[in-house]
Amino acid sequence: MVKEKGSYPRIEEHLEQHNIVLFMKGSKATPQCGFSAKVVNILEEVVDGFHSVDVLLDPQLREDLKIFSDWPTIPQLFVNKEFIGGCDLVEQLFISGELHEQLGEEKNDRSTVPKIHVSEEAAAVIKQGVDRSGNEVLHLTIDESFNHDFKIGPKDPSRTCVLAGGVEIHLDRDSLDRASNLRIGMIDSDKGYGFEIFNPNVASGFKDISVQELKELEDSGEEFFLFDVRTVEERKIACLQNSILLDESAVETIKNIDQDTRLIFYCHSGVRSQEAAKYFFDKGYTQSFNLVGGIDAWSVYVDPTIPRY
């Protein structure tokens, strides 16, 4: 039972200032115990942000917390000043969907999952590994550069289970979006015997776009973002209409753009912009384009009123 208000001001201060508070071992970025890490993963799956308190930095607060909540273990989750529970209870609420309701969030729709193809040979290898591990499962993580990482570990409720070829594959939210029609087989090469991965979602690289094609794109009314990789001084001499200087603010803008949005980068001649297009392609922006010839080519072939320098 939670104690009378004012009995533990240091704890109550966190609860007054934040709607969702997790008292844990370590920080959100670096949890110091598996139970704390599990609850962090669950919360990050459900909400965009929450407040965490590292009890390892304050042993007295840790002891007070056990009395305050009448709960002996860490981590402890509070929502709107109400104690929700520890790791096991939070996990149960997450699976049932009740945690989403308490946090005021809609439960993610997992009814549509990516189709993954696993060969019989690969499925047999996966089953052998999982069987040897006991109660653990196969996790697949596909990062923004489409590197595929397989690991066998404890079941994580924040991941989605996909059944493929008679085996279970557990993926995090970002990997789900990169796994559509993934094919997993086995290969025996000079590097050894291992998984062979074909992911059709991987593009070959950033693309080039000519100034004529950019003009046609402009005239079509299709949505795209045009970023200027040059300096402020160069923009004062000449710049393309509706272009955005690629500064820190623009980078933050790109982070909030869907990764399938068309991004076009230009500079004076197309060299610096090529590096920018490659950089953002490697970050997962598959529709990343470099304007061949840059603004100089635009002046020559599209709009001679744009000053050349």
Percent residues over pLDDT 70 in the chain: 93
Let me know whether 81 and 130 are in one domain. no
pLDDT at 142 over 60: yes
The reported pLDDT for the residue numbered 13 is 93
Pairwise CA distance, residues 80 & 97, whole Å:
18
The reported pLDDT for the residue numbered 177 is 80
First to last CA, the chain: 74
Pairwise CA distance, residues 307 & 300, whole Å:
10
Let me know whether 259 and 174 are in one domain. no
pLDDT at 1 over 50: no
Residue 123 domain-assigned (yes or no)? yes
The reported pLDDT for the residue numbered 107 is 57
269: helix, strand or coil: coil
Domain count, the chain: 3
Let me know whether 182 and 226 are in one domain. no
Could you tell me the residue range of the domain that residue 184 belongs to?
116-198
Averaged pLDDT, 194-218:
83
Q: What is the mean pLDDT of the chain?
A: 87
The radius of gyration of the chain's CA atoms, rounded to the nearest angstrom, is 26
Final residue of a domain: which of 52, 77, 102? 102
Q: What type of residue sits at position 282?
A: D
pLDDT at 29 over 90: no
pLDDT at 2 over 50: no
Let me know whether 297 and 211 are in one domain. yes
Measured at the alpha carbon of residue 94, what is the angle toward residues 91 and 97, in degrees to the nearest 5?
150
Q: Which residue is associated with the tokens 């025996």?
A: 188
In tens, the pLDDT along 62-110 reads: 999 999 999 999 999 999 999 999 988 898 888 777 888 888 876 554 4
Residue 271: band (very low, low, confident or very high) from pLDDT cuts 50, 70, 90: confident
Let me know whether 192 and 211 are in one domain. no
Let me know whether 222 and 160 are in one domain. no
The reported pLDDT for the residue numbered 203 is 58
Residue 308 domain-assigned (yes or no)? no
Taking residue 124's Cβ as centre, other Cβ atoms within 10 Å add up to 15
Nearest partner of 23 among 57, 2, 155, 103, judged by Cα? 57
Least confident of 21-30, 240-249, 259-268: 21-30
Residue 308: band (very low, low, confident or very high) from pLDDT cuts 50, 70, 90: very high
The reported pLDDT for the residue numbered 40 is 87
Let me know whether 290 and 265 are in one domain. yes
pLDDT at 279 over 70: yes
Chain Cα centroid distance, residue 277: 20
Final residue of a domain: which of 171, 198, 225? 198
Q: Give the CATH number of the domain where residue 283 resides.
A: 3.40.250.10
Residue 107 domain-assigned (yes or no)? no
Output the pTM of the full model: 0.41
Residue 111: band (very low, low, confident or very high) from pLDDT cuts 50, 70, 90: very low
Q: Which residue is associated with the tokens 């990482």?
A: 149
Residue 1 domain-assigned (yes or no)? no
